[in-house]
């Protein structure tokens, strides 16, 4: 069948070239890593290139940046292209290994992962997860996180993934609120809930 798709491309928006080209040295502290991720989320919102979520993978001991991801669901029409998935996919593809454990890798995400991204984490090989805005705040602002086990932090710990919550949480929440205030569409899994004025769309994460 001629129109059955054979490939897809996940590419960061053009503004990311400037951001990544300007990266100066390793990011020593988790706060620095999160500040970089939030800068990407803000640029993503400011440029109208997608939803207000960003994530990055770092080599945990050194702080070397391995990849950046942003939510690309709307521009790519790929429902699974959440920021965390994009960051993990680019890190693996860039390094030539699906197992990021080789880097003692840390995923830093502007928002606590949704149910889908949470499920993807144990298969990525990361050893550390650092989150910005808390799950409850994400939902309160209007984004769907899906069904997550109440003990998900402990469960990741049992899988060897240490979890750090609420790093620059207020600043991370502010990015989500700015997106909503600017009229950005919130696209949620089961029932899209449109806000006034249209704009880009997004799913949680
Ligand atoms: Zn997600």
Phi, psi values for residue 128, rounded to 5°: -150, 140
- Cα 1 to ligand 1 centroid, rounded to whole Å: 32
Catalytic residue among 59, 84, 112, 145: 84
pLDDT digits (tens, 9 = 90+) for 117-131: 999 999 999 999 999
H-helix segments, 110-168: 115-120, 135-141, 152-158
Spatial contact of 102 and 95, defined as CB atoms under 8 Å apart:
yes
| 106 flagged as catalytic | no
Mean model confidence pLDDT for the chain: 92
pLDDT at 30 over 60: yes
Q: Is 106 exposed, middle or buried (0-12, 13-18, 19+ CB in 10 A)?
A: buried
Contacts of 72-80 with CB under 8 Å at 24 or more apart are 72/10, 72/12, 73/187, 73/201, 73/202, 73/203, 74/50, 74/187, 74/200, 74/201, 74/202, 75/13, 75/49, 75/50, 75/200, 76/8, 76/9, 76/10, 78/8, 78/10, 79/203, 80/116
Q: How confident is the model at residue 28 (pLDDT cuts 50, 70, 90)?
A: very high
- Cα 146 to ligand 1 centroid, rounded to whole Å: 9
Spatial contact of 70 and 86, defined as CB atoms under 8 Å apart:
yes
pLDDT digits (tens, 9 = 90+) for 150-204: 999 999 999 999 999 999 999 999 999 999 999 887 877 765 455 444 344 455 6
The pTM for the full model equals 0.91
- Cα 119 to ligand 1 centroid, rounded to whole Å: 9
CA 62 centroid distance within chain? 21
Phi, psi values for residue 133, rounded to 5°: -65, 140
- Cα 36 to ligand 1 centroid, rounded to whole Å: 19
**C-alpha to C-alpha distance for 188 and 158, rounded to whole angstroms:** 30
């Amino acid at each position: 069948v001629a129109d059955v798709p054979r490939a897809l491309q996940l590419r960061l928006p053009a503004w990311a070239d400037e951001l990544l080209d300007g990266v100066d040295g390793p990011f020593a502290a988790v706060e620095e890593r999160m500040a970089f991720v939030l800068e990407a989320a803000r640029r993503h919102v400011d440029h109208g290139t997608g939803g207000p979520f960003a994530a990055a993978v770092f080599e945990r001991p050194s702080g070397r940046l391995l990849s950046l991801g942003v939510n690309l669901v709307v521009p790519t029409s790929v429902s699974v292209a959440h920021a965390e998935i994009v960051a993990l996919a680019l890190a693996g593809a860039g390094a030539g290994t699906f197992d990021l454990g080789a880097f003692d890798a840390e995923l830093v995400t502007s928002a606590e992962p949704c149910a889908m991204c949470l499920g993807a984490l144990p298969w990525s090989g990361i050893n550390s997860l650092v989150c910005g805005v808390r799950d409850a705040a994400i939902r309160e602002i209007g984004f769907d996180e899906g069904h997550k086990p109440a003990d998900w932090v402990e469960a990741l710990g049992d899988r060897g993934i240490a979890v750090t919550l609420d790093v620059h949480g207020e600043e991370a929440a502010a990015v989500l609120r700015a997106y909503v205030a600017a009229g950005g569409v919130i696209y949620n899994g089961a029932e899209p809930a449109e806000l006034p004025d249209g704009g880009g769309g997004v799913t949680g994460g």
